[in-house]
Amino acid sequence: MFKFLLFTFIILTFIPFNISVPINGIDFNILTRRQNVNNACYVKAAKESARSTTIVLINKSGTDLFYISSPLDHGIWTSGCDPSTTQIVPNGQSISFSNESDGFATGDGGSVVYSIGSEAPPLTFTINWSNPFTGSNSYEVNFPQGSKYAYSAPFPPSGDNAYYEITIL
């Protein structure tokens, strides 16, 4: 019995697999309850690492977003998908960026900070995420208290290669 449980654990932990079911023409992954993604950063990060997080930041705030910083707690930026390469996200536009694990049995995590609006001093908001090798994923979007801006993120974080769409309103 122990050998069977050990074998099952190894298969489920280290062998990637995908179970999908088409619903109304959209292929949904049963394990992550997430729509399959064709985003270039997501595809590249998922292919290159055991854990990755891709964020699509959609700006519908009525004003531009200005990049401030993007420190990583774990992992590296996926090549070509670093948020610092796009200093301004104009209203009505979006940006994709990906962070991936770097090393054996490691996860990814970090944050990105943008300023928003024309107030003085400028308002900033932060997106934080963590996709550990073991345990649950997490993310949060933080605006200053009393800010007139908000966000929408329809999918909760899950999966080894997490994908979030965050719309700034």
Whether residue 10 lies inside any domain: the answer is: no
The full length of the chain comes to: 169
Domains of the chain: total: 1
The range of the structural domain enclosing residue 59 comes to 28-168
Q: Whole-number mean pLDDT of the chain?
A: 82
What's the CATH code of the domain at 126? 2.60.270.50
Whether residue 151 lies inside any domain: the answer is: yes
Burial pattern 37-49, b for ≥16 Cβ within 10 A else e, equals: bebebbebbbebb
Q: What is the pLDDT of residues 70-102, one digit of tens each?
A: 999 999 999 999 999 999 999 999 999 999 999
Report CA torsion sign: 58, 60, 61, 64: positive
DSSP per position, 51-80: SEEEEEEEE-SSS-EEEEE--EEESEEPTT
Q: What is the pLDDT of residues 15-56, one digit of tens each?
A: 443 333 343 333 333 333 344 567 999 999 999 899 999 999
State both tokens at 116.
């928003």
Whether residue 15 lies inside any domain: the answer is: no
What is this structure's pTM?
0.77
Whether residue 133 lies inside any domain: the answer is: yes
Whether residue 13 lies inside any domain: the answer is: no
One-letter amino acid of 36: N
Whether residue 2 lies inside any domain: the answer is: no
**In this predicted structure, what is the pLDDT of residue 84?**
96
Whether residue 16 lies inside any domain: the answer is: no
Whether residue 7 lies inside any domain: the answer is: no
CA distance readout (Å), 69 to 40, 103, 108, 110, 146 = 22, 24, 17, 11, 23
